[in-house]
């Protein structure tokens, strides 16, 4: 394979103007919001003197994003999606301005902070879900995996650079200025999205053969479609497992304290290692767009991520732990790109908003419950044992899916400008699909469009 074929494919940025604007909006947004996330954690801890206060803000954000995602899925299938994204980001910008005003006051209010976090979470849930639903209309079918890798790369770089910049800004001038930067970044994002062409919802005739088409306007239509469709349903089930049993980052501090040693520096490296592996995988993701068996590769990525999590749990040295986490991050990029591409390819445009809301709700809920699950396992075994159990579950899920869900293993995607075609294993209600629908919503306390 030539080096040019290995490097990330930039064609969607060159040929799709509206995708380019959305991509730039995401980059700007990630930088601002990454800074604000650090500022929020620092300010909440300063006001409460408790990690519980920080956890409470994260929980409020997660619940609000979940509610916003479910509402956004319905709205995205009923109204102009560009208008919906612009409105949601404008409201999020007001939340950041309120956070800045509260931070600059003589007596900042923790209640006001929690209210603003909930406000931003609702707006973010709507905008994330809607953006993921429209991205398939912005690029060609054969560009879906390249678009997915580009979106993933921005998130991974943002996870590394933005918190560092936020920490520097807070040290120099306090959290208020970080919130102002987030507000300005959100304003720029809103303007960029407003310049995208109108994006009306999908037509109601996308699923006209469905015997339950009369109920397609229901918020539950996405769940019903996922339950009937063998490929989409299997992907969502596998996604729930990977969300619940991912690398237990909530246990990193205890792993450092009881197993690896090294203090805060080691802890920071553990949090950075998955993102570093993900950046490397995204930068060399050109091959993903040419794989002929994306379903099988997706399952292999889940299996590799599970083994990486097991290796992290068994590692007794910092370098081995970092290497294992980098493998997990790299495998996660391959999995995320192919999962979203396959889900959106097999989902009719008129249902994409609600299917996307199901995916976002699944990830948000999985993150919350997964932290509880990991903490419980750590008490029964130990932090390293919890990581081993999680990794074994993910690897086993990939093997079971490969054996018992052949439709997922044989799932295909359009390539080389091929016309969309029905997969031989699609079920009732399938329709020729579109493309990649964006990346997953990042972790709380603050998110992005």
Q: Is residue 234 included in any domain, yes or no?
A: yes
Q: Which domain holds residue 267?
A: 3-409
pTM more than 0.75: no
Q: Is residue 445 included in any domain, yes or no?
A: no
Q: What is the pLDDT of residues 217-267, one digit of tens each?
A: 555 776 778 778 888 888 888 999 998 998 888 788 788 888 887 776 787
CATH number at residue 390: 1.20.1250.20
Give the Å distances, CA to CA, from 319 to 253, 258, 260, 310: 16, 16, 10, 15
Distance CA 95, CA 36 (A): 11
Give the Å distances, CA to CA, from 422 to 149, 398, 428: 24, 24, 11
Q: What is the pLDDT of residues 168-205, one digit of tens each?
A: 788 788 889 989 999 999 999 999 999 998 888 764 43
Distance CA 35, CA 162 (A): 5
Q: What is the 3-state secondary structure (H, E, C) of 240-305?
A: HHHHHCCCCHHHHHHHHHHHHCCHHHHHHHHHHHHHHHHHHHHHCHHHHHHCCCHHHHHHHHHHHH
Q: Is residue 441 included in any domain, yes or no?
A: no
The per-residue pLDDT of the chain, averaged, comes to 80
| Contact by Cβ (8 Å): 180, 100 | yes
Q: Is residue 338 included in any domain, yes or no?
A: yes
Residue for token digits 């407003």? 194
- At 346, phi and psi to the nearest 5? -95, 10
Distance CA 299, CA 175 (A): 42
Distance CA 21, CA 181 (A): 20
Q: Is residue 261 included in any domain, yes or no?
A: yes
Q: Is residue 64 included in any domain, yes or no?
A: yes
Give the Å distances, CA to CA, from 46 to 42, 98, 163: 6, 18, 18
Number of domain units in the chain: 1
∠ Cα 57 58 59 (to 5°) = 90
Q: Is residue 437 included in any domain, yes or no?
A: no
Q: Is residue 427 included in any domain, yes or no?
A: no
Residue 435, pLDDT score: 27
């Amino acid at each position: 394979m030539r080096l040019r074929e290995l490097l990330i494919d930039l064609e969607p940025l060159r040929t799709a103007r509206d995708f380019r604007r959305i991509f730039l909006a995401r980059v700007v947004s990630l930088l601002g919001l990454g800074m604000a996330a650090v500022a929020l954690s620092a300010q909440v801890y300063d006001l409460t003197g408790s990690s519980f206060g920080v956890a409470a803000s994260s929980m409020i954000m997660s619940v609000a994003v979940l509610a916003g995602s479910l509402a956004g899925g319905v709205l995205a299938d009923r109204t102009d999606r560009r208008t919906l994204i612009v409105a949601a980001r404008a409201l999020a910008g007001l939340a950041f301005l309120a956070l800045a005003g509260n931070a600059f006051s003589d007596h900042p209010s923790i209640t006001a902070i929690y209210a603003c976090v909930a406000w931003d979470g609702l707006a973010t849930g709507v905008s994330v879900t809607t953006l993921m639903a429209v991205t398939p209309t912005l690029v060609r079918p054969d560009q879906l995996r390249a678009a997915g890798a580009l979106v993933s790369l921005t998130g991974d770089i943002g996870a590394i650079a933005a918190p560092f910049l936020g920490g520097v800004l807070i040290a120099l001038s306090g959290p208020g200025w970080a919130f102002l930067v987030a507000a300005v970044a959100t304003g720029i994002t809103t303007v960029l999205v407003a310049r995208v062409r109108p994006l009306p919802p999908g037509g109601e005739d996308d699923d006209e053969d469905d015997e339950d088409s009369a109920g397609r306007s229901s918020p539950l239509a996405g769940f019903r479609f996922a339950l009937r469709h063998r490929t989409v349903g299997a992907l969502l089930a596998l996604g729930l497992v990977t969300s619940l049993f991912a690398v237990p980052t909530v246990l990193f501090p205890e792993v450092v304290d009881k197993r690896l040693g090294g203090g805060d520096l080691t802890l920071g490296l553990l949090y950075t290692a998955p993102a570093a592996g993900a950046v490397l995988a995204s930068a060399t993701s050109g091959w993903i767009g040419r794989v002929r068996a994306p379903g099988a590769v997706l399952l292999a990525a889940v299996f590799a991520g599970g083994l990486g999590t097991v290796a992290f749990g068994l590692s007794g040295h910092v370098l081995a732990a970092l290497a294992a986490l980098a493998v997990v991050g790299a495998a996660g990029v391959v999995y995320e790109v192919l999962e979203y591409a396959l889900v959106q390819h097999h989902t009719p445009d008129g249902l994409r908003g609600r299917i996307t809301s199901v995916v976002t709700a699944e990830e948000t809920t999985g993150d919350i419950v997964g932290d509880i699950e990991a903490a419980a396992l750590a008490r029964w075994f130990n932090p390293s044992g919890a990581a081993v159990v999680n990794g074994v579950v993910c690897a086993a899920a990939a093997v079971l899916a490969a054996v018992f869900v052949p439709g997922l293993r044989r799932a295909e995607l359009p390539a080389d400008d091929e016309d969309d075609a029905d997969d031989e294993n699609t079920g009732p209600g399938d329709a020729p699909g579109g493309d990649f629908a964006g990346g997953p919503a990042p972790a709380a306390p603050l998110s992005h469009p």
